């Protein structure tokens, strides 16, 4: 059973962001594998360990995203591919999904494409569902548990996290699955893994390698464009510390304040 984990390289979640002329930078903060995608990578490794086949990590991005794929190799992925081409610059969700669907098609014989629920930069959480649509595969989002897979009958049973609770469902493979925290505990890279990854050459796929139509990729293929990006306006809040001689007195004063806000 072949499993693809789609990963994005993002700035660290604790990075101090700067914006200048609609360009976001993060100083010397490290770039990391999108934290949600770590769960997708780990799940691909667990499934490969259980069912055999290979775990393949792919990423679309600039040359620097090679580092994210090296992390995937270091934790144990069998193969990685970087999809990188200047014409892909300016992609939105739909042109990214189109590109990733083509890449998954090129890998071939894939039963499962795993995604983290969203990337911590764009925060859309829409890409996986569009990839499923372009591939014509089953879509299962917000999966917190893969209960079972039958690689022969090509079926999968999962638990999905909805607002109201978990939905347990069965479906057919091949499937695109987006995963949430709680599905597993991502492993750390081993020393041997890091050495192997350092020496590895990661193949780069260009738009032409995937047979992408120029009108559907990058800025040309984007339906949604970013007009402006700017820091969150700083809310001037000065905290009012509630004091008193006893917990009861503090509670009474705090309750006064909360009631006066008319939020209850």
Binding to another protein (CB under 8 A) within 165-184 occurs at 165-172, 180-182
CB of 229 to another protein, least distance (A): 5
User: Toward another protein, which CB reaches closer, 75 or 97?
Assistant: 97
Q: Which of 92, 112, 113, 177 is in the footprint of another protein by CB under 8 A?
A: 92
User: Toward another protein, which CB reaches closer, 15 or 197?
Assistant: 15
What is the Cα–Cα distance from 123 to 140, expressed in whole angstroms?
19
Q: Taking the CB of residue 183, how many other CB atoms lie within 10 A of it?
A: 22
Contact positions with another protein (CB under 8 A) in 7-26: 11, 13-14, 17, 19, 24
Q: Which of 56, 58, 66, 93 is in the footprint of another protein by CB under 8 A?
A: 93
Q: Which of 27, 108, 211, 231 is in the footprint of another protein by CB under 8 A?
A: 231
Q: Which of 20, 28, 109, 240 is in the footprint of another protein by CB under 8 A?
A: 240
User: Toward another protein, which CB reaches closer, 24 or 46?
Assistant: 24
Size of the site for another protein (CB under 8 A): 78
Q: Does 30 bind another protein (CB under 8 A)?
A: no
User: Toward another protein, which CB reaches closer, 55 or 95?
Assistant: 95
What are the two backbone dihedrals, phi and then psi, of residue 187, each rounded to the nearest 5 degrees? -80, 165
Per-residue DSSP letters for 190-209? PHHHHHHHHHPPPPEE-TGG
Q: ∠220-203-54 over CA atoms, to 5°?
A: 110
Q: Does 91 bind another protein (CB under 8 A)?
A: no
What are the two backbone dihedrals, phi and then psi, of residue 159, each rounded to the nearest 5 degrees? -115, 125
Residue in this structure with the two tokens 């591939």, named with its chain if needed: 135
User: Toward another protein, which CB reaches closer, 27 or 165?
Assistant: 165
Pairing of β 55-60 and β 2-7:
parallel
Q: Which of 54, 157, 187, 196 is in the footprint of another protein by CB under 8 A?
A: 157
CA atoms within 13 A of residue 119's CA, in its CB half-sphere: 20
What is the Cα–Cα distance from 264 to 261, expressed in whole angstroms?
8
Q: Does 111 bind another protein (CB under 8 A)?
A: no
Q: Does 136 bind another protein (CB under 8 A)?
A: no
Q: Does 219 bind another protein (CB under 8 A)?
A: no
Cα distances from 97 to residues 103, 116, 130, 134, 248, in angstroms, run 10, 14, 6, 8, 56
Contact positions with another protein (CB under 8 A) in 48-87: none
Contact positions with another protein (CB under 8 A) in 180-209: 180-182
- Tokens describing residue 47: 């499934």
Contact 179, 52 (CB under 8 A): no
């Amino acid at each position: 059973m072949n499993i693809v984990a789609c990963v994005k390289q993002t700035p660290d979640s604790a990075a101090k962001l700067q914006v200048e002329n609609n360009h976001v930078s993060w100083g010397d903060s490290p770039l990391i594998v999108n934290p949600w995608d770590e769960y997708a990578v780990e799940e691909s490794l667990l499934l490969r360990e259980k069912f055999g086949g290979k775990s393949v990590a792919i990423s679309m991005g600039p040359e620097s995203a090679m580092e994210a794929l090296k992390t995937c190799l270091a934790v144990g992925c069998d193969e990685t591919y970087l999809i990188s081409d200047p014409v892909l610059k300016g992609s939105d969700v739909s042109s990214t999904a189109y590109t990733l669907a083509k890449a998954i098609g090129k890998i071939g014989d894939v039963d499962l494409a795993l995604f983290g629920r969203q990337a911590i930069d764009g925060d859309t959480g829409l890409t996986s569902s569009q990839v499923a649509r372009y591939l014509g595969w089953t879509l299962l989002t917000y999966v917190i548990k893969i209960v079972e897979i039958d690689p022969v009958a090509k079926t999968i049973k999962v638990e999905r996290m909805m607002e109201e609770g978990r939905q347990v469902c069965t479906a057919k493979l091949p499937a695109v699955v987006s995963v949430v925290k709680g599905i597993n505990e991502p492993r750390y890279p081993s020393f041997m893994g890091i050495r192997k990854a350092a020496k590895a050459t990661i193949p780069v796929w260009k738009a032409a390698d995937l047979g992408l139509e120029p009108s559907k990729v990058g800025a040309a293929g984007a339906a949604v464009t970013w007009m402006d990006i700017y820091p969150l306006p700083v809310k001037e809040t000065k905290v009012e510390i509630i004091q008193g001689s006893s917990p009861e007195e503090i509670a009474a004063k705090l309750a006064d304040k909360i009631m006066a806000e008319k939020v209850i």
